[in-house]
Amino acid sequence: MTGIYANLKGERVPQTLRELTAALDERGITFAMLDRKQRALPDLTVVVGGDGTVLDIAAAAAAAGTTVLALNAGGTGFLSAFEADEIDECVDAIANGRFDTVERPLISCRYGDEEWFALNEVTVQRTSTDISEGCTLQVTLSIGGEFADRFRADGIIISTPTGSTAYSLSAGGAILVPGLGALIATPLCAHTLRSKPIVFSDTTPAAITVGGGGGIFIDGRFVSSAAAGAEILVRKSDLALKLVKGKKSFYSTLYGKLTSWSEK
């Protein structure tokens, strides 16, 4: 059986979902709709939406070992194997089981007794609900147990290669090619001309402390407030998302997406 996880709030999702389910029915492929809290996932899950919809289910899918096939009905689509107008090709791949997969490692974020997993990034930044409101944070970054930088800023992003084309890119970070064994630490609006993004090996953990406290965000979702001076540890996890690979190369997709965004 094939699972389907969809972002029903997306403008193009309802129509894409109707076309997909009709095509699956026509081919006699059984499927079940999944929700975000789903624990038992089938071997293959089709995600209908944009990259944000993939992020919703990434940690659960990685933990369950399910393969994710992303059908882009959103606005980004870096993680998508098929576009919304390629439903026939998508269903053919599902029916025949003929597709290549890639693994995208997740990173772990530990704070106190809590642990979360991110496909794109861990962000520590000021929020509107704590004492950092209206103020910058003093961010201290250590990599592999060694002091790396200290600066005042809105926060800091620790991103995977997968996430390097997301929030980190918008904040001035470099693009990391998927499969590269590296992470990138990108300051958010640093009040200095000295502090720049740092690319480092994903075999070394990063530790973040923020003066005045701040908020911890996992793939864009707020998960916890962090006390002033507390340590937030970010490292590569043992989890990896198994993702169906699209027909286009990463560089071709990158060129197309960046060109499209520039023309808007």
Which residue numbers are catalytic? 51
Separation CA 108–CA 239 (nearest Å): 9
Separation CA 123–CA 39 (nearest Å): 26
Separation CA 197–CA 200 (nearest Å): 10
Neighbours of 211 (CB within 10 A): 16
Rounded alpha-carbon distances, angstroms, from residue 248 to 27, 48, 214: 26, 19, 39
Separation CA 45–CA 130 (nearest Å): 38
Q: What is the DSSP letter of 176?
A: P
Neighbours of 91 (CB within 10 A): 22
Angle of helix 87-96 relative to helix 13-26, nearest 10 degrees, comes to: 40
Dihedral (Cα; 244, 248, 249, 254), 10-degree rounding: -100
Spell out the residues 6+ positions from residue 88 whose beta carbon is closer than 8 angstroms to its own. 23
Separation CA 122–CA 216 (nearest Å): 7
**200 burial class (0-12, 13-18, 19+ CB within 10 angstroms)?**
middle
Reduced to 3 states (helix: H, G, I; strand: E, B; else coil), residue 264 is coil
